[in-house]
Amino acid sequence: MDFLLECLRKGTAPVKVVEFAKKYLNELGFEELYYNTSFEPEEGGRYYMTPFPDVIFAFTMGQKRTYRQKLRMAFAHVDQPCFKVKASPDFENMGAAQLNVEVYGGMMDHTWFDRPLGLSGSVALVGEDPFHPCILSYESDGPVAVIPGLAIHMNREAANGWKIDRQKELMPVTGLAGGPWTRKTFTRFLAEELNVEEGEILAFDLNLYNCDPPQLVGFENELVLSPRIDNLASVSALLESLVEGERDSGINLIGLFNHEEVGSFSKSGADSDLLTSVLKTIFEALGAGEEDFRASISRSLYLSADGAHGAHPNYPDRCDPTTRALIGRGPAIKSSGTCKYVTDLKVQAILKGLAEKYDLPLQIIGDRNTIRGGTTLGPMVGSHLPMAGCDIGIPMWSMHSARETMALCDYRSMCRLLTAFFKE
């Protein structure tokens, strides 16, 4: 549980999630490999690589060296809905200093009012030459902004719901206008935080995140209430299970991708050739040829781990009447007759067999015909590599809210199921 809560606290931006994963893997003896250099993985070895700062792959090698490997893989994403700071963000209005931001991902807008917002991400500084800027990761020590809500007296329709104008109503306040405030205060603030000159800042990729801490709630503390459960609960589970689930033969691998919330169409996203390239690099290091790679992929299995919509006690009409996931009843296999999820009959049967063997709860969830659920990495991975896979997730309430809720027992069951998937 402590590891999960730490992941939720520290995963404030994709680069911070990757840094958290690297630190954890380093402490457990994983060796860092580099995507742009040759390497020779050894039998029984533990490795990871970060082709880009916002994506990481970690894998363990079996004790038997062979050109044809059975891969067990699982994937999750490191991004979540947030506010991206625009390139020239400073403006003033009604005596308040504000930032111009862009909504990233499909957030539940109204849940972000009156939250303490921190700043996290990456900053590019002047380097040795124009082609080698210095890239630093950054996170504020605490909240730096807030989006004040409008009093009920000034919006009598608030209790009935209203359409939020993102450009007008979701602009964060960073303080009071006037005094030392200038058009370049944001970069001045960054310069002071990084202890550099303002002119050294070339660009930044920064987001505002909810500073609220993870909390256990309920009469028995059985629920987790936290920002970023989607999808850092899956990230945490994958990291724990990879370490616990080593096999005598074959390769176990996890991949943590970026940009799932906006479609995955990027170099760090799952809908790219990055995974294929990484796997081929590993097989080439083993001395395997193209035929061996194809044969191995055909024998391999993968899971796409992403949050699942839990049946809501106040909205029973929003879930399917027979294939719905209840909070506290275990992780859920996501099924779809239209191939919206990658769930393959064989892998679904394998997971059900593992659940029975280890006495683990497991559910099956399908979308209600009138309500479309979210997308996942599963079909994207399968469209680039023809493998049998399955979409699976921890059921939660309030997905894409500033704070989401899940059951702690479901996380533990997910870890045990993933460990069995890797280990058997």
Please tell me the distance from the alpha carbon of residue 134 to that of residue 339, in angstroms, as a whole number.
Answer: 43
Percentage of residues in the chain having pLDDT higher than 70: 99
pLDDT surpasses 70 at 421: yes
Residue 165: phi and psi, rounded to 5, are -85, 105
pLDDT surpasses 60 at 422: yes
pLDDT surpasses 70 at 181: no
Measured torsion, CA atoms of residues 291, 294, 299, 305, in degrees rounded to the nearest 10: 150
| pLDDT attached to residue 39 | 87
Residue 391: phi and psi, rounded to 5, are -90, 130
| pLDDT attached to residue 184 | 61
pLDDT surpasses 90 at 57: yes
Q: Are 210 and 227 in contact (CB under 8 A)?
A: yes
Q: Report how many domains make up the chain.
A: 2
Shared domain for 65 and 134, answered yes or no, is: no
Shared domain for 43 and 94, answered yes or no, is: no
pLDDT 10s digits, 123-178: 999 999 999 999 999 999 999 999 999 888 888 777 777 889 999 999 999 988 87
| pLDDT attached to residue 9 | 98
Q: Which residue is it, tokens 């916002």?
A: 54
CATH number of the domain at 321, please. 3.40.630.10
Confidence of residue 406 (pLDDT cuts 50, 70, 90): very high
Percentage of residues in the chain having pLDDT higher than 90: 79
pLDDT 10s digits, 38-54: 888 888 999 999 999 99
Q: Are 308 and 76 in contact (CB under 8 A)?
A: no
pLDDT surpasses 60 at 79: yes
249 located within any domain: yes
Last residue in a domain, options 210, 240, 262 = 210
Shared domain for 393 and 368, answered yes or no, is: yes
Shared domain for 163 and 75, answered yes or no, is: no
Shared domain for 75 and 91, answered yes or no, is: no
| pLDDT attached to residue 180 | 57
Confidence of residue 22 (pLDDT cuts 50, 70, 90): very high
218 located within any domain: no
Shared domain for 183 and 126, answered yes or no, is: yes
- Give the single-character DSSP code of 340: S
CATH number of the domain at 188, please. 2.30.250.10
Shared domain for 150 and 72, answered yes or no, is: no
Lowest mean pLDDT among 15-24, 242-251, 323-332: 242-251
Shared domain for 144 and 200, answered yes or no, is: yes
pLDDT surpasses 60 at 293: yes
Last residue in a domain, options 163, 182, 210 = 210
pLDDT 10s digits, 333-349: 999 888 889 999 999 99
pLDDT surpasses 70 at 364: yes
Confidence of residue 183 (pLDDT cuts 50, 70, 90): low
Lowest mean pLDDT among 297-301, 321-325, 372-376: 372-376
Which helix (H) or strand (E) covers residue 411, if one does? helix 408-423
124 located within any domain: yes
| Host domain of residue 161 | 82-210
Shared domain for 406 and 257, answered yes or no, is: yes
217 located within any domain: no
42 located within any domain: yes
222 located within any domain: no
- Is the link from the previous residue into 231 a cis peptide, with omega within 30 of 0? yes
pLDDT 10s digits, 259-272: 999 999 899 999 99
Which helix (H) or strand (E) covers residue 124, if one does? strand 117-125
Please tell me the distance from the alpha carbon of residue 127 to that of residue 130, in angstroms, as a whole number.
Answer: 7
216 located within any domain: no
Last residue in a domain, options 156, 182, 210 = 210
Shared domain for 160 and 244, answered yes or no, is: no
215 located within any domain: no
Shared domain for 311 and 267, answered yes or no, is: yes
Per the prediction, the chain carries an average pLDDT of 93
> b/e per residue, 327-358, with b = 16+ CB within 10 A?
bbbbbbbbbbeeebbbbbeebbebbeebbeee
Shared domain for 346 and 283, answered yes or no, is: yes
